[in-house]
Amino acid sequence: MRILFTSASSPAALALARVLAAEGHILHGADEEYVWGTSPARYSRAYQNFYRLTGSRSVAELWKAIGDHIDLVIPFRSLPGQIVESLKSRGANIVGENLAHNDYEFQDFVRDNVIDASSESPSIVRVPASFTVHSRTCIAEILSNRDSTFSLQPLPCYDTDDEDTLVDVGNPSSSSSEPLILSCSTLDDLTVEAIKRLPISDTNPYRLIEVAEGGSFYSAHAFVHAGRIRTFTVTNARATDQDFVIAAANQPLYGVLYKSTERLLGALENWQTAVANHLNLTFHVHDTVEYSEFVRKVTIISCHNDPHPSIVLLASIPALRRKLALAYTSPSLSGVDQEPVQFPVDASSPKAIYSAPWAVREFARIMLVARPWRRDWWARLAYITMMCWVWAINFKEETWDPKDPGPTLCLWSVMFIASVVANVGRPRGIRWMTRQLANIRSSWLATQIVVPMVSTVLAIARYWLAILVDPLASGRNMLLVRRHRSLSKS
């Protein structure tokens, strides 16, 4: 199969491209590269061809040139709606689509189509409480009867005006003001005055939405293809967070999230148009005591549809690579291949990823401001050293692959050059050099240390330059110097 990856330099794209290329698929990578040669995907062996995207050349323009030779497009970053529609109109088979404009629209869909749809088998997972208010009296009544914290904001309105409008009817208009956070226990005079100034009315309603507080967040990451879950992982962080750890499949919460994802997938069959999609669901888990019993409340918060970096960890396990490739390329599977790709319970593989350039940058930043006489500097140094050791032993570097080192080396080179350009020759760098030289307050110290060092460096540079210009002449001069020294000694 011939597959095009957009945002091909992301860690998840590189990991999946290596798996698919090893299974015999032809990979094409496209990535933004405003300075030629700075995209890591350009140097990956997994991509047969790399296409540079700039401000004047978008994915839609690229599709005009290579669309006839591509079977599948997998974006690793959300594409603008107009580009997606343009690609679909030209026959592109795109993986993924945004299911909702915002979290509140997604919560309404889950409430109407999953939680309230079937009374025979009620769902354990719930959604945040939501109320439409038309007056300040409604707000006061809701806050007085509930102990939760709420977010107050205008209802999203859709511009369905005549065809002369310049507003996209598919996107709701958003308010520039920040939502008010309200609760009965924290209500004060300033908040009451802010509520009075809001233009709440029957024609301009507002919405009170429950805010998740306390507890912890978990995320379920699934790739669905042809109505079935093909990959499934659970992490102990929000779906948008980059710092996460894989949760074990033998935890009770794992089964609850898997069943909730299955029920959501059944409701999405008549709603989404994409055959394959990524689902990154964020859940809020809060344990409370009600009527002298422990109660665990699981609330679904949001859904995002970009590929999650946990793909890097699935691709790092050799036993899962074949099934991972089939999950993305084969609509129908049979036998054992129908089971979703999941992280093994007894796997000794890393359960989290880290970025080596970030670790090196933090370590260098601490060393450049060395203060060995201060206790907090030693504490920061010990912390970053311990974290680097833990990352190297237990985590996986997000882009490194010994069989495909090009992207990582490119990333390191670009990072180093950008750091040099950002600090050398700019006022910040000049001020730093001035402060360092100002520390040499003694003229004797400057004469005894700085001047001899500069003279030695210049002499060495002049010697090597002479060798490069005329090696034979330099050799003869060195021979004459040695003879002169031997005669003077005798």
By C-alpha distance, which of 320, 140, 319 is closest to 223? 320
- The single-letter code of the amino acid at 188 is D
With beta carbons less than 8 A apart as the criterion, state whether 227 and 265 touch: yes
Q: Report the SS3 class of residue 409.
A: helix
Distance, CA of 132 to CA of 299 (rounded, Å): 20
Q: How confident is the model at residue 451 (pLDDT cuts 50, 70, 90)?
A: low
DSSP string, 160-225: ---TT--S-TTS-B--SSPPEEE-SSS--HHHHHHHHTS---SSS-EEEEEPP-SSEEEEEEEEEE
For all residues of the chain together, what is the average pLDDT?
Answer: 79
CB 95 within 8 A of CB 306: no
Rg of the chain over Cα atoms, rounded to whole angstroms, equals 30
Q: How confident is the model at residue 419 (pLDDT cuts 50, 70, 90)?
A: low
Strands 216-225 vs 276-290: parallel, antiparallel or unpaired: antiparallel
User: Could you tell me which residues are beta bridge partners of residue 296?
Assistant: 287
Band the pLDDT of 99: cuts 50, 70, 90: confident
Gap between the Cα atoms of 340 and 131, Å rounded: 38
This prediction has a pTM of 0.76
Indicate the DSSP class of residue 32: E
| Confidence bin at 165 (pLDDT 50/70/90) | very low
What's residue 477's pLDDT?
Answer: 47
Contact 97, 272 (CB under 8 A): yes
273 vs 128, residue with greater confidence:
128
Structure tokens given for 300 = 């679904």
* pLDDT tens per residue, range 331-375: 887 777 788 899 887 767 788 888 887 777 777 777 777 777 888
pLDDT for residue 462: 56
Q: Which residue has the higher pLDDT, 121 or 196?
A: 196
The pair of three-digit structure tokens given for residue 203, joined into one six-digit string: 């024609």
What does the pLDDT average to over 121-126?
78
Assess whether pLDDT exceeds 60 at residue 28.
yes
Could you give the C-alpha distances from 62 to 34, 58, 66, 73, 306, in angstroms and in order? 16, 6, 6, 12, 21
What percentage of residues in the chain have a pLDDT greater than 90? 23
Q: How confident is the model at residue 469 (pLDDT cuts 50, 70, 90)?
A: very low
How many CB atoms are located within 10 Å of the residue 150 CB? 25
CA distance 298 to 127: 8
Taking residues 68-91, what's their average pLDDT?
86
Q: Max alpha carbon distance in the chain (Å)?
A: 111
Please tell me which residue, 451 or 361, carries the higher pLDDT value.
Answer: 361
Confidence band (pLDDT; 50, 70, 90) for 466?
A: low
Which pLDDT value is given to residue 478? 46
Q: Band of the pLDDT at 458, cuts 50, 70, 90?
A: low
- Flag the least confident range among 47-61, 170-184, 227-241, 374-388: 170-184
Range 422-445 average pLDDT: 50
Contact 254, 234 (CB under 8 A): yes
Encoding tokens for residue 218?
């978990």
